[in-house]
Amino acid sequence: MSVTYPRGFRAAGVAAGLKPSGRPDLALLIGDEGTTAAGAFTTNAVAAAPVRLSQERLRDGGGRAVVVNSGQANAATGARGERDAIVTTEATARLLGLDPREVLQCSTGVIGEPLHVEQMLLGLSDAIDALAPDGGDAFASAILTTDTVPKCSRADAGPYRVGGAAKGVGMISPHLATMLAFVTTDAPVTSEELRSIMQTELVPRFNDLSVDGCTSTNDTVMVFASGAAGGEPVAHPSAAREELAAAIAAVGDDLVSQLIHDAEGGTHVVIVQVDGAADEAAARRLATAVADSPLVKTAAFGGDPNPGRIVQAVGSAGVELDPASLDVWVGETELVRGGTIAPSYFSGGDLRSAARAAMAAPEFTIRVRVGDGPGRSQTFGCDLSYEYVRINGEYTT
Amino acid sequence: MSVTYPRGFRAAGVAAGLKPSGRPDLALLIGDEGTTAAGAFTTNAVAAAPVRLSQERLRDGGGRAVVVNSGQANAATGARGERDAIVTTEATARLLGLDPREVLQCSTGVIGEPLHVEQMLLGLSDAIDALAPDGGDAFASAILTTDTVPKCSRADAGPYRVGGAAKGVGMISPHLATMLAFVTTDAPVTSEELRSIMQTELVPRFNDLSVDGCTSTNDTVMVFASGAAGGEPVAHPSAAREELAAAIAAVGDDLVSQLIHDAEGGTHVVIVQVDGAADEAAARRLATAVADSPLVKTAAFGGDPNPGRIVQAVGSAGVELDPASLDVWVGETELVRGGTIAPSYFSGGDLRSAARAAMAAPEFTIRVRVGDGPGRSQTFGCDLSYEYVRINGEYTT
């Protein structure tokens, strides 16, 4: 049910012909009157037209519905792209009987290709006809591009329900928001409070994700609260708020996990945990440096622990550190202590076999300790496979 | 003749059994008495033991000879690694009748594996026996690891000669120095002057190189001047200095070109040129962001211009820019103007064919203009192929 698990939402997903494959490519989500919304967006300097439009409308207090298309990203499309975003959201608003400011937009697909506006306008009527309180799964399918499976999630928070859907398997790197993710709740939440929950519970989770270190032009996380569960607005602080935040966080965790497990060409999920850094920012830089290193990623693909590459990646992160305080574990096996790789690792002993066994699992952890500081961070990465090269060497050709 | 093209040097390369393959793995270079030296080293926080030793000895004014081994990088080897570097350079000094401070060291190979000291000590006698004024090619072969060909260069500067050798095909990214590179000249140059020429003529060139965005623990550039050509020390400023600097720069360019053409798994050299940035640092960040993007690199492998990925990489570089001032060329074909990808690109016209034709060449250029600023930079990168994944998925296993 994804985004329509909470009450007070209707959704749809249809095939409008924006994708050459003919698969569903136009999705619509609308909340009941009074729905509040918050969004977090890519930090890419060449943000797509729909990103800028949605940012503006959210700033103006709008955001009851969102229209999402896959096929074209409507990024690097200049003035035409701006116009296309306005035309399609205004048409959506007109058909739904809303003020245009109420309609947000996300686009995902090929960068630079102009939005197929005509097909989108034709498809909009179908999408509106298909709007249904159980349309969440159709919505989740229509937002996909190279994803192999839809990503849906749900959680409960006492009287409130939380739902979510996401897409994205490549061009994903942690800088503010990543890919497209939509979270809904039927709790009554003011937009200020919703923004606050999004910033603390969702944004950090999606920032912990990196498929390939590439920050997209279209990344967006949106949260909607319909209030359909009834009752007073969720107060801050309150037990209800805590429970709701936890449920939203759980949906975020679940979507992040589904995204990284469907990473382009990924055969292993690599969780990089860093602790002991001076602060969280330093820990995050270190974790990202390891997770994004093509040498660590190919070693993960080959099932080879190769601790030297982990040490190299840590050292190149641009973070000041004392090499003598560096410890590294692959799974439960400590391969580096005090900056020195255990010499027995190279004589083919148990150490290497244990680390290799850990890496054979579909998901494994690289843990890095760099000292006694309070900074910790975690990044969800994946390996770099032949399949990643194939997918990205052939895309759009 | 590589490093022995200039007079006043002897070099050797032998197989000491440090590499399992049995290939040459121990190299030695020594200049005549009075030889001056300068070096630039990796910025990786976990610099290898030989890097720290060489830095220290150069600071103390030493550096007439360098002993290089391939097979083990002697990085992340702790106190044992420090000791191994001292023991092997002291043995080299003793056998050569030099003060230990005169002997620099470079190591390259597997990170973390302890140096095979015994084999190295045994091999040293062979290397010293083999020292010859025409030993440069043997030297250039013995420093290789996964390189497929040796990299040698030479140039003339009036009465002076300049020679060079380098190695390195992976874990290469521009942060101060990269890989191992050795440049020699028989010009009489003080060590201060040599350092100055190195900083202005060599370091920036090697910084323009990126195979995979990974800064190694062992990167080193060293320059030696034997003075064997005779005459007064090269004065600053003087026509002789300019000519010498130009010859050293030419050798640097030649080695950089040879390195990138032998990049691990590389099937195309991608030269990324950026201009119009606020300053050189911003231009360099932008050029590196494009050259290191796995999505641009796989597109280069697939022969697909994919301007959207270039735009995405530019936007994610963390450099402030006006999207409306962004122009991008692939080869001679302008694909992006004023931040907008030419719509005709997607309708399969001449634009796309022209860009694809440019990318079919073994070497092609991506040119990015981001405004009217004075900042320009150039990065030599390569594509990301199945072969890169194979090489790095299998290494050490």
Mean pLDDT of A269-284: 93
On the question of pLDDT at B397 being above 60, the answer is: no
Which residues of chain B lie closer than 8 angstroms to A298, CB-CB? 388-389, 391-393
Sign of the CA dihedral with A13 first, then A59, A81, and A40 last:
negative
On the question of pLDDT at A397 being above 50, the answer is: no
Sign of the CA dihedral with A106 first, then A111, A117, and A122 last:
negative
Whether residues B252 and B280 share a domain: the answer is: no
Which residues of chain B lie closer than 8 angstroms to A388, CB-CB? 294, 298, 389
Residue of chain A whose Cα is closest to the Cα of B76: A340
pLDDT at B176: 34
pLDDT digits (tens, 9 = 90+) for A39-98: 888 777 778 899 999 999 999 888 899 999 999 888 888 899 999 999 999 999 999 999
CA distance A87 to chain B (A): 18
Residue of chain B whose Cα is closest to the Cα of A388: B298
CB contact (8 A) between residue A386 and residue B386:
yes
Whether residues B11 and B154 share a domain: the answer is: yes
Q: Which of A111-125, A380-394, B277-291 has the lowest mean pLDDT?
A: A380-394
Whether residues B185 and B62 share a domain: the answer is: yes
Contact present, B169 and B262 (Cβ < 8 Å): yes
Whether residues B190 and B309 share a domain: the answer is: no
pLDDT at B217: 67
Please name the member of A44, A213, A312 whose beta carbon is closest to the beta carbon of B44: A312
CA distance A210 to chain B (A): 12
Nearest to A310 by CA among A266, A345, A281: A345
Whether residues B343 and B369 share a domain: the answer is: yes
Nearest to A7 by CA among A221, A152, A187: A187
Please name the member of B75, B336, B397 whose beta carbon is closest to the beta carbon of A302: B397
Whether residues A316 and A189 share a domain: the answer is: no
How does residue A178 score in pLDDT terms, banded at 50, 70 and 90? very low
Q: Output A328 or A210, whichever has higher pLDDT.
A: A328
Which residues of chain A lie closer than 8 angstroms to B171, CB-CB? 295, 309, 312
| Inter-axis angle of helices B117-130 and B78-96, nearest 10 | 30
Domain extent at residue A158: 2-261
Which residues of chain B lie closer than 8 angstroms to A348, CB-CB? none
* Number of structural domains in chain A: 2
Q: How many CA atoms lie within 13 A of A325 on its CB side?
A: 14
Sign of the CA dihedral with B233 first, then B238, B240, and B242 last:
positive
β-pair partners for A184: A163, A224
Whether residues A314 and A361 share a domain: the answer is: yes
Q: Where are the beta strands (DSSP E) in A266-337?
A: 269-276, 327-330, 333-337
- Mutation target for B interface from A309, A337, A370: give the one with most B CBs within 10 A: A309
CA distance B303 to chain A (A): 8
CB contact (8 A) between residue A316 and residue B45:
yes
Verify cis geometry, omega within 30 degrees of 0, for the bond prior to B20: no
- Mutation target for A interface from B337, B389, B390, B394: give the one with most A CBs within 10 A: B389
Strands A363-369 and A269-276: parallel
Retrieve residue B111's tokens.
């990170």
pLDDT at B170: 63
How does residue A186 score in pLDDT terms, banded at 50, 70 and 90? confident
CATH code of residue B76: 3.60.70.12
Helix (H) or strand (E) holding B108: strand B103-110
Mean pLDDT of chain A: 87
Write down which residue in A233, A261, A289 finishes a domain: A261
CA distance B80 to chain A (A): 9
- Mutation target for A interface from B219, B285, B312, B395: give the one with most A CBs within 10 A: B312
Q: Output B298 or A257, whichever has higher pLDDT.
A: B298
Whether residues B247 and B335 share a domain: the answer is: no
pLDDT at A175: 39
pLDDT at A222: 76
On the question of pLDDT at B353 being above 80, the answer is: yes
On the question of pLDDT at A396 being above 60, the answer is: no
Write down which residue in A205, A229, A261 finishes a domain: A261
Verify cis geometry, omega within 30 degrees of 0, for the bond prior to A237: yes
pLDDT digits (tens, 9 = 90+) for B170-228: 665 543 334 677 788 888 888 888 888 878 877 777 766 666 666 666 667 778 888 88
CATH code of residue A292: 3.10.20.340
Whether residues A67 and A164 share a domain: the answer is: yes
| A138/B218 Cα distance (integer angstroms) | 53
pLDDT digits (tens, 9 = 90+) for A189-209: 888 888 888 788 777 777 666
On the question of pLDDT at A100 being above 60, the answer is: yes
Whether residues B246 and B293 share a domain: the answer is: no
CA distance B89 to chain A (A): 21
Which residues of chain A lie closer than 8 angstroms to B315, CB-CB? 44-47, 215, 217
Whether residues A146 and A243 share a domain: the answer is: yes
Retrieve residue A313's tokens.
């990646």
- Which amino acid is present at A148? T
Phi, psi of B58 (to 5 degrees): -65, -40
How does residue A395 score in pLDDT terms, banded at 50, 70 and 90? low
Q: Which long-range contacts (CB under 8 A, 24 or more apart) does A341-349 make?
A: A341/A307, A341/A308, A341/A311, A341/B76, A341/B77, A341/B111, A341/B112, A341/B113, A343/B77, A343/B80, A343/B113, A343/B114, A345/A305, A345/A307, A345/B112, A346/B110, A346/B112, A346/B113, A346/B114
Whether residues A329 and A305 share a domain: the answer is: yes
- Mutation target for A interface from B214, B288, B328, B368: give the one with most A CBs within 10 A: B214
CB contact (8 A) between residue B215 and residue A315:
yes
On the question of pLDDT at A176 being above 60, the answer is: no
Which residues of chain B lie closer than 8 angstroms to A110, CB-CB? 308, 346
On the question of pLDDT at A308 being above 90, the answer is: no
pLDDT at A390: 83
pLDDT digits (tens, 9 = 90+) for A341-377: 888 888 877 999 999 999 999 999 999 999 999 999 9
- Considering the candidates B88, B89, B145, B178, report the single residue annotated as catalytic: B178
pLDDT at A366: 97
pLDDT at A273: 95
Contact present, B136 and B98 (Cβ < 8 Å): no
β-pair partners for A11: A29, A132
CB contact (8 A) between residue A341 and residue B175:
no
Contact present, A5 and A164 (Cβ < 8 Å): no
How does residue B104 score in pLDDT terms, banded at 50, 70 and 90? very high
pLDDT digits (tens, 9 = 90+) for B327-349: 999 999 999 999 888 888 888 77
pLDDT at B207: 66
Write down which residue in B261, B290, B310 finishes a domain: B261
CA distance B350 to chain A (A): 15
Which residues of chain B lie closer than 8 angstroms to A384, CB-CB? 294, 389
Residue of chain B whose Cα is closest to the Cα of A297: B393
pLDDT digits (tens, 9 = 90+) for B19-56: 989 999 999 999 999 898 888 887 777 788 999 999 99
